[in-house]
Amino acid sequence: MSELKNVKGRKVLVHDMALRDGMHAKREQISTDQMIKVATALDDAGVPLIQVAHGGGLGGNSLQHGFAMHSNEEYWDAVIPKMKQAKVSVLLIPGLGTMKELQSAYDHGVRSVHVATHCTEADTSPQHIAYARKLGMDTTGFLMMAHLNDPKGLATQGKLMESYGAQTIYITDSAGYMLPSDVVARVRALREVLNPETEIGFHGHHNLGMGIANSIAAIEEGASRIDASVGGLGAGAGNTPLEVFVAVCDRMGIETNCDLFKLMDLTQDIIFPMMDHIVRVDRSSLTLGFAGVYSTFLLHADRAGKKYGLPTRDILVELGRKKMIGGQEDMIEDTALTMAKERGLLKA
């Protein structure tokens, strides 16, 4: 076993994802009352940044990604005035969300943004990163499906986002595929090329049960921001569970300034009863992690599987084989249709 680096006294900024990534796990059906309940409890527990939006972020309301119960603006207007210390953030995936929607987010009080691209396509984000900085927002370049780019390549992409104005670069393990050594190599490569003032973040999914271990590995290498989700409410097997992460940080002397017991209570009393299915490592979400497939595909593949009489796992594996990336949810039904024809379940 490798030697544990001393992380005692290190400060980490935690960023909760339950009210954005968690929307995926709820098929976008979270009410404004539930949003307020969760957000105020997170605020009260000292969580400094809370992401609130459709699962796909800005522009997410669509046939492709599902329609939420409310518009993003309605969610922000419900949550933001109630925040005592927490800032609210949003996700912007260029090609889906636009600068018009970013302006609206800012006008409604959103002050931080993850500008997200696939891990090789950073150059689709310059407009949006520059615009966010112009608005004075805390701006992150968010490199999704980061396992699909090697450390050097990922560092080059992160450097591009930094050049557009991103203040933090995130390694985003959208498929929950990475192991701690993968995370370490990528943080190290980014640290080598980024300016010293540029922060590094890690966003994990728990599909292989590595959310906590990967986040700690990232911190050991110098990451200072961690995305997690209270109760693990998120796509796939969920995000790194926030309360577990905070407990581990407490044990290791990493400072998160979050109140562990309050987060435990929030998880047990509010989040768990909200879940439509138990968000955990199961046959399908483990397949995501094992095959390196985008976590959000999970429930879409479940639906297509039921509709066309195919095992979800077979669809997910095929999507991985065809190298589908985040945003290609339309290809799930298409792939299921083609597989159903090949298997004689549908006439060609």
- Judged by beta carbon, residue 286 or residue 304, the one nearer other proteins is 304
CB of 284 to other proteins, least distance (A): 22
Which residues are paired to 16 by β-bridges?
A: 50, 228
- Judged by beta carbon, residue 120 or residue 156, the one nearer other proteins is 120
- Judged by beta carbon, residue 48 or residue 320, the one nearer other proteins is 320
Backbone φ, ψ for residue 101 (5° rounding): -70, -30
How far apart are alpha carbons 34 and 108 in whole angstroms? 19
Angle at 93 between CA 62 and CA 198, to 5 degrees: 160
How far apart are alpha carbons 38 and 92 in whole angstroms? 22
CB of 323 to other proteins, least distance (A): 4
- Judged by beta carbon, residue 160 or residue 217, the one nearer other proteins is 160
- Site for other proteins, rule CB under 8 A: 59, 62-64, 94-96, 98-100, 118, 120-121, 123-124, 126-128, 148, 322-325, 327-328, 330-331, 333-334, 337-338
How far apart are alpha carbons 182 and 108 in whole angstroms? 38
- Judged by beta carbon, residue 36 or residue 331, the one nearer other proteins is 331
Q: Is residue 205 a contact partner of residue 174, using CB atoms and an 8 Å limit?
A: yes
**How would you classify the pairing of strands 138-144 and 13-16?**
unpaired
CB of 94 to other proteins, least distance (A): 5
Catalytic residue among 24, 54, 65, 128: 24
- Judged by beta carbon, residue 100 or residue 343, the one nearer other proteins is 100
Q: Is residue 126 a contact partner of residue 148, using CB atoms and an 8 Å limit?
A: no
Active site residue 24: yes
How far apart are alpha carbons 267 and 249 in whole angstroms? 17
Q: Is 320 strand, coil or helix?
A: helix
How far apart are alpha carbons 299 and 66 in whole angstroms? 11
Alpha-helical (H) ranges within the chain are 21-25, 32-44, 72-79, 99-107, 126-134, 151-164, 180-193, 211-220, 242-252, 260-266, 272-274, 283-291, 297-308, 312-321, 330-342
CB of 149 to other proteins, least distance (A): 9
CB of 146 to other proteins, least distance (A): 13
CB of 276 to other proteins, least distance (A): 21
Q: Side chain identity at 292, as an amino acid letter? A: G
Active site residues: 24
